[in-house]
């Protein structure tokens, strides 16, 4: 379990078991006091010394409002506990081949090494590949170098190369996850135009300090998110995109947050809240997800079953318009529910089950449904029934209980 969460629960338990002792047992309404204006807390009230006639006395007092600790969602506890049971194997983890461009930022490079090696250790139990997992990182000026080095592993399509070029031109940097010719090895490419992951050079206009801090942490999770796509590729046998949108992106976001909480010492609950802050509304419709009913959620889940598809900017814009990009944040909650009900091992078995859907690799029209048969085989329930009876009630409860941070400016 996350170390910060364990410490928090321990302190909370100690606090709740400690008897309340009045700070000043002699203080009571109407009793004498010595200096006007001073206050004292006793028996759950704050008393103030006031002048009444020629005397100084304690007033009637005001009830002290007890601070209520923010409840930790049951699904979060289940996720941390479930993932915290792994790794179980003592095997040597799969190696990572780090390829840093001539102009790669050294601080970010160090974070990528820490995250990459850490994730391989955490997933040592699941279907390792003897080949090192390749990671490429550099600045926009390193883009052609990255393409050249990736092509030394295996030739890529012109579309993949052009995708890297497009994403490298984004103003605040970007990431690109690739997959080589169906290889379970996979690969991941990072290109950035500024120090997105540092603690000192993030300055997106007029954002508040809390917004900037949240963005830095979200960018750190982006590292683990994209390396998790490589894990998905390894486990599915090179067809991670067949998991569909929430299955692929939600899975990478969920496990990206969990691995960052252990490898980069970030807080899973905080990252989860940041993600919900970003997508707690359907941006394409201006609707508040906290007010969605069962029917609206079912329709939304069917939309985010989509296929990730091409990494071109045009396809990403289309995906955003069709789904509101809810496959990321809502996907986190769907995976929490799966973890709570079935556990980490079963989720890995579901991913592995895509290896048996051989027809999907040759029929693009089946990409959006290939994951459903393994889902039912693994979890013993068809996905639509799971949506209605389990996932949607969980989503409704979690979105309705979500508390926006002070800087949030969403709808509703």
Could you read off the pLDDT of 35-46 as tens digits, one per residue?
Answer: 998 988 888 888
User: Could you give the C-alpha distances from 378 to 72, 296, 387, in angstroms and in order?
Assistant: 28, 27, 15
Cα(223)–Cα(235) distance, integer angstroms: 19
Report the predicted TM-score, pTM, of the whole model to 2 decimal places: 0.79
Q: Cis bond leading into 398, ω under 30°?
A: no
pLDDT of 234: 92
Residue 237's region, left for phi above 0, alpha for psi from -120 to 50, else beta, is left
CA distances from 168 to 19, 144, 187 (A): 59, 10, 17
261/66 Cα distance (integer angstroms): 30
Write down the pLDDT at residue 14. Answer: 39
| Residue 340: per-residue pLDDT | 97
Spatial separation of the C-alpha atoms in residues 342 and 362, rounded to whole Å: 31
pLDDT in tens, 217-263: 777 888 999 999 999 999 998 888 889 889 999 999 999 999 999 99
Q: How many CA atoms lie within 13 A of 94 on its CB side?
A: 27
* Structural domains of the chain, ranges and CATH numbers in brackets: 20-63 (no CATH), 74-401 (1.10.390)
DSSP-based three-state secondary structure for 154: coil
DSSP 3-state helix, strand, coil percentages of the chain (rounded to 5)? 55, 10, 35
Query: What pLDDT does residue 313 have?
Result: 47
The closest of 249, 246, 244 to 226, measured between CA atoms, is: 249
CA distance 181 to 165: 20
Q: Residue 87: what pLDDT?
A: 97
The pLDDT assigned to 315 comes to 55
- Point out the residues of the chain with pLDDT beneath 70: 1-26, 67-69, 156-158, 171-174, 176, 179-182, 193-215, 278-286, 307-324, 358-368, 406-412
Cα(118)–Cα(264) distance, rounded to whole angstroms? 9
Compute the distance between CA of residue 117 and CA of residue 227 in angstroms, rounded to an integer: 10
Digit-coded pLDDT (tens) for 356-391: 776 665 565 555 578 999 999 999 999 999 999 999
Specify the DSSP element, H or E, that contains 96. Answer: strand 96-100
């Amino acid at each position: 379990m996350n170390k910060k969460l364990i410490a928090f629960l321990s302190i909370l338990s100690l606090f709740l078991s400690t008897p309340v002792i009045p700070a000043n047992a002699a203080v009571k309404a109407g009793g004498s006091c010595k200096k006007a204006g001073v206050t004292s807390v006793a028996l759950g009230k704050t008393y103030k010394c006031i002048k009444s006639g020629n005397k100084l006395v304690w007033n009637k007092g005001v009830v002290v409002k007890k601070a209520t600790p923010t409840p930790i969602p049951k699904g979060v506890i289940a996720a941390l506990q479930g993932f915290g049971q792994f790794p179980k194997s003592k095997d040597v983890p799969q190696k990572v081949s780090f390829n840093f461009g001539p102009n790669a930022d050294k601080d970010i490079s160090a974070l990528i090494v820490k995250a990459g090696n850490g994730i391989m250790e955490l997933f040592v139990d699941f279907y390792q590949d003897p080949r090192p997992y390749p990671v490429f990182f550099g600045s926009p000026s390193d883009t052609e170098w990255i393409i050249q080095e990736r092509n030394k592993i295996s030739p890529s399509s012109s579309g993949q190369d052009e995708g890297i070029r497009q994403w490298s031109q984004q103003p605040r940097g970007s990431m690109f996850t690739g997959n080589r010719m169906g290889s379970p090895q996979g690969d991941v490419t990072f290109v950035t135009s500024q120090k997105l992951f540092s603690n000192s050079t993030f300055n997106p206009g007029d954002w508040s300090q809390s917004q900037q801090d949240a963005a830095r942490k979200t960018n750190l999770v982006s590292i683990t998110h994209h390396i998790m796509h490589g894990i998905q590729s390894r486990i599915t046998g090179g067809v991670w995109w067949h998991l569909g949108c929430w299955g692929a992106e939600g899975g990478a976001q969920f496990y990206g947050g969990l691995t960052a909480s252990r490898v980069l010492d970030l807080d899973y609950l905080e990252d989860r809240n940041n993600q919900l802050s970003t997508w707690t509304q359907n941006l394409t419709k201006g609707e508040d997800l906290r007010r969605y009913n069962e029917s609206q959620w079912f329709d939304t889940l069917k939309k985010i079953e989509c296929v990730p598809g091409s990494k071109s900017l045009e396809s990403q814009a289309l995906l955003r318009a069709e789904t509101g990009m809810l496959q990321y944040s809502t996907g986190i909650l769907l995976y929490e529910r799966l973890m709570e009900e079935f556990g980490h091992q079963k989720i890995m078995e579901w991913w592995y089950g895509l290896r048996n859907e051989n027809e999907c690799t040759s029929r693009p029209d089946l990409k959006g449904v290939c994951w459903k048969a393994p889902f039912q085989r693994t979890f013993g329930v068809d996905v639509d029934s799971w949506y209605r009876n389990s996932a949607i009630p969980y989503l409704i409860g979690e979105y309705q209980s979500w508390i926006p941070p002070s800087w949030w400016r969403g709808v509703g």
